[in-house]
């Protein structure tokens, strides 16, 4: 492996999931204020915790955690990847349910880091709820490297399990990416991007399924929120028609779904 991508430190272990969750504890004075990106979310335990979602409801999860000097490359085979900024505290660790199989980490205390959480082969792993005959081993990766704080992101979401968890969680990121598109064309561009990025969604919307429509609406609502900060307190101006009349927004979603399905 090239020296520039070789990890400075590696920790490995097995933790035990409960209700499809394991926990990253950043230690005393640790903080991850922007960590909710579908397969990762802020922990109810406090700002020093991040809940990591896994495809297995219960049972063993193999984990490999690495600390790098710079951002490591993305593997094209990874199906589900999220990143978020954090500040490391002392005594960081990866925890399973009731501390089953906790892995002690030695992250640089007080350092600004970026974390990348990877679920390998999620589609195969989610076929089994518990360890047992025929169950596949599953593995997650956590990568850390020094980086100035910037918004987190859903980096990759491939397969039904990943799309289920990340759908809508990347709203702020996706909307910000279209900041250079002029209003009100940005709404149509946003809807086109969201609908076309997910196989089968256009057909589901046109067939009258409510869940994909509601998820697409989340992105529109995030745009309205961001536009409000730019234009006026009510976000009116350019999007008043759709804010005040959700039937009009639904008609626009149907229109863009029809375009995507051609």
Q: Is the pLDDT of residue 102 over 80?
A: yes
| pLDDT confidence tier of residue 223, bands split at 50, 70 and 90 | very high
Q: Look up residue 232 and give its two tokens.
A: 């006026």
Domains in the chain: boundaries: 9-157, 172-260
DSSP string computed for 64-113: EEEE-SSPPPPPTT--EEEEEEEE--BS-EEE-GGGTT-EE----TT-EE
pLDDT digits (tens, 9 = 90+) for 9-63: 999 999 999 888 999 999 888 999 888 888 998 887 777 889 999 988 888 899 9
What are 79-100's pLDDT values in tens digits?
A: 899 999 999 999 999 999 878 8
| CATH classification code of 9-157 | 2.60.34.30
Mean pLDDT of the chain: 86
Q: Are 26 and 48 in contact (CB under 8 A)?
A: yes
Per-residue tokens: 51: 């809940």
Q: For residues 230-236, give the mean pLDDT.
A: 54
């Amino acid at each position: 492996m090239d020296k520039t991508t070789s990890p400075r430190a590696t920790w490995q272990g097995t933790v035990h999931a409960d209700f499809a969750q394991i926990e990253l504890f950043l230690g005393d004075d640790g903080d991850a204020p922007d960590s909710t990106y579908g397969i990762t979310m802020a922990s109810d335990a406090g700002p020093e915790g991040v809940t990591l979602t896994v495809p297995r409801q219960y049972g063993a999860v193999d984990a490999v955690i690495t600390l790098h000097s710079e951002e490591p490359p993305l593997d094209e085979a990874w199906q589900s990847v999220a990143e978020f900024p954090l500040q490391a505290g002392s005594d960081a660790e990866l925890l399973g349910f009731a501390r089953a199989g906790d892995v002690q980490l030695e992250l640089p205390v007080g350092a600004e880091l970026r974390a990348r959480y990877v679920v390998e082969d999620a589609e195969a792993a989610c076929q089994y709820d518990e360890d047992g005959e025929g169950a596949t081993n599953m593995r997650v990766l956590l990568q850390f490297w020094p980086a100035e704080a910037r918004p987190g992101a859903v980096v990759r979401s491939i397969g039904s399990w990943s799309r289920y968890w990340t759908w809508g969680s990347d709203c702020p990121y996706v909307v910000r990416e279209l900041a250079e598109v002029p209003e009100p064309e940005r709404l149509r561009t946003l809807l086109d991007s969201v609908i076309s990025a997910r196989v089968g969604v256009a057909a589901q919307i046109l067939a009258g399924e409510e869940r994909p429509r509601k998820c697409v609406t989340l992105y529109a609502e995030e745009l309205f929120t961001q536009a409000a900060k730019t234009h006026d307190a009510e976000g009116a101006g350019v999007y008043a028609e759709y804010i005040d009349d959700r039937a009009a927004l639904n008609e626009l979603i149907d229109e863009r779904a029809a375009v995507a399905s051609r």
